[in-house]
A and B are shown apart, each in its own frame.
Chain A
Amino acid sequence: MKFSTMRLAAAAFTGMGVLLAGPAQAGKTLDAVKARGQIVCGVSTGLAGFSQADSNGKWSGLDVDVCRALAAALFNDPEKVKYVPLSAPQRFTALQSGEVDVLPRNTTFTLTRDASLGLSATVVNYYDGQGFMVPVKTKLKSAKQLKGQTVCVQSGTTTEKNLADFSKANNLNIKPVVFDKLEAANAAYFSGRCVAYTTDASGLASIRAKEAKDPKEHLVLPDLISKEPLGPMVRRGDDEWFAIVKWVMYGMLEAEEYGVTQANVDQMKASSADPVVMRLLGGGNEDTGKLLGLDKDWMTRAIKAVGNYGESFERNVGAKSAVNLPRGLNNLWNKGGLMYAYPIR
């Protein structure tokens, strides 16, 4: 019964059928990537600090570094990545249909996404929460003062649902104005159409820093109304590829924890007495990469390309970057944060 209704509906769009009719090879992403000589990486259409292309088309950001580290680990060249910019509503289809190999695109891990989209959540690369931004001149101090007001949001995000929950829980009757493109949502907020703008707090910081005419005229309110663990997703059913993404990310955390940096990685590899460092970098007779289908220098190359997690964080979104986010929850577990890598051994 369910099958037949589905089939009937599916019959309505043969176009879709063609789209999804591509090769459904589970477990073969690594082979495909190697044969192609390039990783195809789904990123946002432009969110400063996370993934943004400069005027020469060169991508950078915390999410982009995941792609670069992967490319370095695989091909010894962080440039061997093709970036596919995806708006929020496009991203999952792009990953499902095989258009991209991995999706580091400030994407929240949720049960629905993990369990029903045919995707798997790898490792969190930014612990976030949803916040609100308002013009300073409104003198608003808390999101709870937004009763009956309009709030701009981007569709295809967890944001819409959180906003509805928050509005209901606090009896605020907030009116969302929903746009499918980031620029449209930004433009509407900055034009004054909405009293507030809501999305991940990191996204707000980035938009405030890069898109506002004068960042000082806008304030990110202290309220965080949700948990938004952001990280790369991959297609489900390809455990090898899943493991590679996961462990390259853990490797970057482990490197920070043990003091391995972009600058000292060669020297550490040659002279460190710490067996953890040796395993991470493939020094001596250690070869952790082999278990993943890579070679022993996988993490040495990745760290040379992008540095450890802390370096990547500071360079892209940290206090000295334009986005200026505190390390907060994204500090290492032994420094008061939540970042905790499984042991590389």
Chain B
Amino acid sequence: MSRKSPPRRKNWTWRSQALRGLVYQFFAIGAVALGVWWLAGNTMHNMQVRGIQSGFDFLARPAGFDIGESLYAFDSNHPYWQAFLVGLTNTLRVAVIGIILTTVLGVLLGVGRFSRNALVRGLCYAYVEFFRNVPVLLQLLMWYVFFTEALPAAAQAWTLGPLFLSKGGLSFPIPVWETGHLWGLYGLIAGAALAFAYRRWAFRRFEATGRPRSLFWVPLGLLFAMGALGWATGGAPAHFVVPVRGEFAIEEGGSLTPEFMAVLLGLSIYTAAFVAEVVRAGIQSVARGQGEAAAAIGLSQTQSMRLVQLPQALRVIIPPLTNQYLNLTKNSSLAVAIGYPDVVSIANTALNQTGRAVECIAIVMLVYLTTSLATSIFMNWYNVRAAIKER
């Protein structure tokens, strides 16, 4: 493709295509805007006539309800906007962790479809066909029923060391914060810097000498070694709040509720089936010759996949992968069916408490719109980075 062709100059005469296009677009946008304006006005007029109060002023009033789980302390006399914030963080918690889980699982499954082992291939195939063909809401309910019906009550909780698994969820010890931990943190930061420097050095050595060095394990080791060193310097604080069996529930310690786990597992497992297909298609799109060439220069099968095929497949994978990430985030709104307090659930409660239906739905729409756009922007940036650099 020649980059030299001169840019097409637009011809702004009356009767030119460019001008006509602009005029049509202007009218089309104008008509839509008018339509929306009219409908909005109509809605508001009707609401006023019927004595339905409206406005966003309620956001500053105390919410008056409690929220079962939240990442920061929420109290019923905090204002509504903070309740929405709790809902938002709960939604993001599921979305972010879900996206990571689904990516790992999906890539493994997608790559597994090319395994030389027929059993692995078959299992990956069966997984994809099962999980992508059962409606996701059903899967969420299935997981929730599993957690609440199949697991034992708190008094008979399954235990594994300090872990407890019961109808009440998964309880685990959490470290008590001490100043010594700060040293651990410093160690981690130093480790990250070292790991980064090492990678650059190793990469340059590789380019110069062709001798490969581990770009993964060594930096990871550095990171953790420095973290551990810092922690030891800080006096190796190791106090944990350990969960204990209460009368009706496991008390103390940290815990993941069955609602959270059901949403997270349900969404990740469902979406992973789609991601697997995306990954498979991506790998298939890489010309066969690439794999053969990799073999010819002596790369092992794993190396060929990791160093030659996957990086090229990435170009094809990223755009549809973005779609799957967006789907996962949006599907998290189904969480309300199993009692997880995501932003939709909070909005539902707020809506019913205040009667401000239009406003609450607007907020929910805004939340999903912004998170989706942010995801898209990030993935587009990544896509540009991963694109083949043509020289």
| Residues of chain A at the chain B interface (Cβ within 8 Å) | 2-3, 5-14, 16-18, 20-22, 24, 26, 88-89, 92-93, 96, 112-113, 115-118, 138, 148-150, 152, 155-157, 160-161, 163-165, 167-168, 174-181, 184-185, 187-188, 191-193, 195, 235-237
Which of B3-11, B126-134, B322-330, B337-345 contacts its partner?
B337-345
A180's partner among B42, B337, B359 (CB-CB below 8 A) is: B337
Most buried by A among B40, B64, B77, B345: B40
Residues of B close to A174: CB separation below 8 A: 66
A88's partner among B68, B257, B352 (CB-CB below 8 A) is: B352
Question: Whole-angstrom distance from the CB of B145 to the nearest CB of chain A?
Answer: 8
Complex Cα distance A237/B42, Å? 19
Instruction: Name 8 extra pairs, CB < 8 A, besides A92-B352, A168-B77, A191-B167.
Output: A5-B56, A10-B44, A14-B40, A160-B353, A176-B67, A180-B336, A237-B49, A237-B50
Question: Whole-angstrom distance from the CB of A103 to the nearest CB of chain B?
Answer: 14
Question: Whole-angstrom distance from the CB of A26 to the nearest CB of chain B?
Answer: 7
Residues of B close to A89: CB separation below 8 A: 348, 351-352
Residues of B close to A177: CB separation below 8 A: 68, 257, 259, 339
Contact A118 B339 (CB under 8 A): no
Complex Cα distance A161/B248, Å? 24
Give the 10 A-B CB pairs with smallest separation, nearest first: A17-B39, A156-B352, A164-B76, A10-B40, A118-B52, A118-B50, A118-B51, A191-B148, A9-B362, A116-B53
Within 8 A of A (CB), among B334-391: 336-339, 341, 345, 348-349, 351-355, 357-359, 361-362, 365-366
Residue B41, interface by CB 8 Å: yes
Contact with A along B145-171 (1 / 0, CB 8 A): 100110001000000000000011000
Given A174-B66, A237-B51, A184:B339 Cβ within 8 A: yes
Contact A178 B341 (CB under 8 A): yes
| Residues of chain B at the chain A interface (Cβ within 8 Å) | 35-37, 39-44, 46-47, 49-57, 64-69, 75-77, 145, 148-149, 153, 167-168, 246, 248-249, 251, 257-259, 336-339, 341, 345, 348-349, 351-355, 357-359, 361-362, 365-366
Contact B248 A195 (CB under 8 A): yes
B37's partner among A11, A20, A26, A152 (CB-CB below 8 A) is: A11
Given A20-B46, A149-B249, A184-B338, A9:B39 Cβ within 8 A: no
Most buried by B among A116, A155, A160: A155
A178's partner among B37, B39, B68, B149 (CB-CB below 8 A) is: B68
Residues of A close to B37: CB separation below 8 A: 7, 11
Contact B148 A180 (CB under 8 A): no
Question: Whole-angstrom distance from the CB of A170 to the nearest CB of chain B?
Answer: 13
Q: List 5 A-B contacts (CB under 8 A).
A: A117-B53, A156-B352, A178-B345, A178-B349, A185-B339
